[in-house]
């Protein structure tokens, strides 16, 4: 962490929480008129075009070798899959509900950390995970009644991005944030090119690149830029403030997504979903509180 400037870190995380739902809103607007593959390709292309020149001009390493390269490539593939699931979910679900369901991710990360990294998980945090998942089910239930199984896409997003974050943890100390994001943009774009060609050859509509209409190009450009900038804000925030300080701020994304959903689409969560959102936020904040307490002085009592 380059300097202890928590206020700047918090401001950057707030910017991330404001910008990310905007990108999701644009994806929801474009979903009916632009193919899924086109949106994902534009997202990675903009990341590569925006960040590669910055990385090269500032002497940041873009190329990685060996284990680091393959972990970074796996990270790009997970990001690609997560975006695909989220953009698909937004075709069926209100924005706030999709974001709230995906926020089961901290609970999944806790369990994956316990399973793969041997991190200690006590009964209280397991209980909080259970409560948080119940809250998620409260959001899922009314949506499942309306749209059926596509409501599970945000759960896939949560699992994918939990794995994404675990890989990021493994390589964060050995890579530069801008260089890593630039590499992800390059490898993601190059990986998508043959997939787009296969989608065209076999006439797979969601996987085909379709040149968007002129009126849609500005929205696509903004979506690509917003996604890139948001992830940079998140990365930079962790350079100025510890993750324990920033983690609670991420839950601000849910009410902000609710506001965007109402402004752009006229959507508001119903009573059960709203209650489930509150339960999920409460359980997530409790887990963060226990993480902070354990980090300070609880070697004898697991949370």
DSSP string, 158-215: HHHHHHHHHHHHHHGGGS-HHHHHHHHHHHHHHHHHHHHHHHHHTT-GGGS--PPPGG
The answer on pLDDT for 271 being more than 70 is yes
The answer on pLDDT for 1 being more than 50 is no
| Residue 189, both tokens | 């774009």
What average pLDDT does the chain have?
Answer: 82
**Residue in 40, 28, 145 with CA at minimum distance from that of residue 96:** 28
Query: Where do we find the tokens 């004898």?
Result: 300
254-262 average pLDDT score: 87
50-76 residue pLDDT tens: 999 999 999 888 889 889 999 999 999
> What pLDDT shows up at residue 212?
82
Whole-prediction pTM: 0.81
């Amino acid at each position: 962490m380059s300097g202890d400037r928590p206020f700047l870190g918090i401001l950057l995380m707030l910017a991330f929480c404001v910008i990310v739902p905007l990108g999701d809103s644009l994806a929801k607007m474009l979903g009916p008129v632009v193919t899924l593959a086109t949106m994902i390709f534009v997202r990675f292309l903009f990341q590569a075009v925006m960040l590669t020149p910055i990385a090269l001009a500032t002497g940041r390493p873009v190329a990685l070798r060996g284990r680091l390269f393959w972990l970074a490539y796996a990270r790009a593939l997970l990001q690609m899959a997560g975006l695909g699931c989220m953009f698909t979910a937004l075709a069926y679900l209100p924005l706030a509900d999709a974001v709230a369901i995906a926020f089961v991710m901290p609970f999944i990360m806790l369990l994956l950390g316990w399973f793969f990294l041997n991190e200690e998980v006590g009964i209280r945090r397991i209980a909080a995970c259970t409560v948080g998942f119940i809250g998620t089910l409260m959001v899922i239930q009314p949506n499942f009644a309306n749209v059926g199984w596509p409501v599970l896409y945000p759960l896939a997003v949560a699992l994918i991005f939990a794995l994404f974050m675990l890989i990021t943890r493994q390589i964060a100390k050995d890579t530069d944030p801008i260089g890593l994001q630039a590499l992800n943009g390059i490898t993601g774009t190059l990986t998508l090119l043959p997939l787009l060609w296969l989608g065209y050859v076999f006439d797979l509509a969601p996987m085909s690149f379709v040149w968007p209409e002129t009126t849609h190009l500005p929205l696509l450009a903004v979506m690509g830029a917003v996604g890139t900038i948001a992830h940079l804000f998140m990365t930079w925030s962790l350079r100025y403030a510890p993750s324990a300080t920033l983690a609670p701020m991420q839950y601000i994304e849910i009410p902000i997504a609710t506001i965007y959903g109402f402004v752009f689409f006229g959507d508001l969560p119903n009573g059960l979903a709203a209650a489930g959102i509150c339960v999920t936020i409460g359980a997530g904040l409790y887990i963060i509180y226990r993480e902070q307490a354990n980090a300070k002085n609880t070697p004898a009592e697991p949370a």
